[in-house]
Amino acid sequence: MIVSRDASGAAGATAATAATEATEATQDHPLVRLALLTLVVAVFALLIALPLAVVLTGAFRHGVAAYVQRVTDPLTLSALRLTLVVVAVAVPVNIAFGLGAAWAIGKFDFPGRSALVTLIDLPFAVSPVISGLAFVLLFGGRSAIGPWLVAHNIRIVFATPGIVLATVFVTFPFVARELIPVFEARGTIDEEAAIVSGASGWQTFWRVTLPSARWALLSGVALAVARAAGEFGAVSVVSGHIRGRTNTLPLHVEVLYDSYDSTGAFAVASLLVAVALPTLVVRWAIEWREESVARGGRVRDDSAAQIASAEAA
Partner 1 sequence: MFVLIPLSTVLLTAWTLSPDRFWAAVGSPRAVASYRLSFGASLAAALANTVLGVLFAWVLVRYRFPGRRALDALVDLPFALPTAVSGIALTAIYAPTGPVGRIMRFPIAFTPLGVTIALVFIGLPFVVRAVAPVLAEMGTSAEEASAVLGATRWQTVTRVTLPMLFPAILTGTALAFARALGEYGSVVFIAGNMPMRTEIAPLLIMTKLDEYDYAGATAVASVLLVGSLAVLLILNRLQALAGARAGMRAAA
* Binding to partner 1, residues 20-39 (CB under 8 A): 21-23, 25-26, 28-29, 33, 36-37, 39
Span interacting with partner 1, options 49-57, 104-112, 146-154, 295-303, rule CB under 8 A: 49-57
Specify whether the CB–CB gap between 205 and 121 falls below 8 A.
Answer: no
Q: Which stretch binds partner 1 (CB under 8 A): 2-10, 105-113, 131-139, 149-157?
A: 131-139
- Residue 4 sits in the site that holds partner 1 (CB under 8 A): no
Q: What is the phi-psi region of residue 244: left when phi exceeds 0, alpha when psi lies from -120 to 50, beta otherwise? A: left
CB of 228 to partner 1, least distance (A): 10
Q: How far is the C-alpha of 174 from the C-alpha of 205, rounded, in Å?
A: 20
Structural contact between residues 78 and 248, judged by C-beta atoms closer than 8 angstroms? no
Closest CA to 236 of 228, 247, 223: 247
How many CA atoms are closer than 13 Å to the CA of 234, on its beta-carbon side? 26
Task: Return d(Cα 113, Cα 107) in angstroms, integer.
Answer: 11
158 binds partner 1 (CB under 8 A): no
Contact map string, positions 163 to 202, toward partner 1, x by CB under 8 A: -----xx--x------------------------------
Residue 75 or 133: the one with the smaller Cβ distance to partner 1 is: 133
SS3 136: helix
Q: Does 71 bind partner 1 (CB under 8 A)?
A: no
Q: How many residues bind partner 1 (CB under 8 A)?
A: 85
Which residue of 46, 88, 150, 193 would you call a contact of partner 1, by CB under 8 A?
46
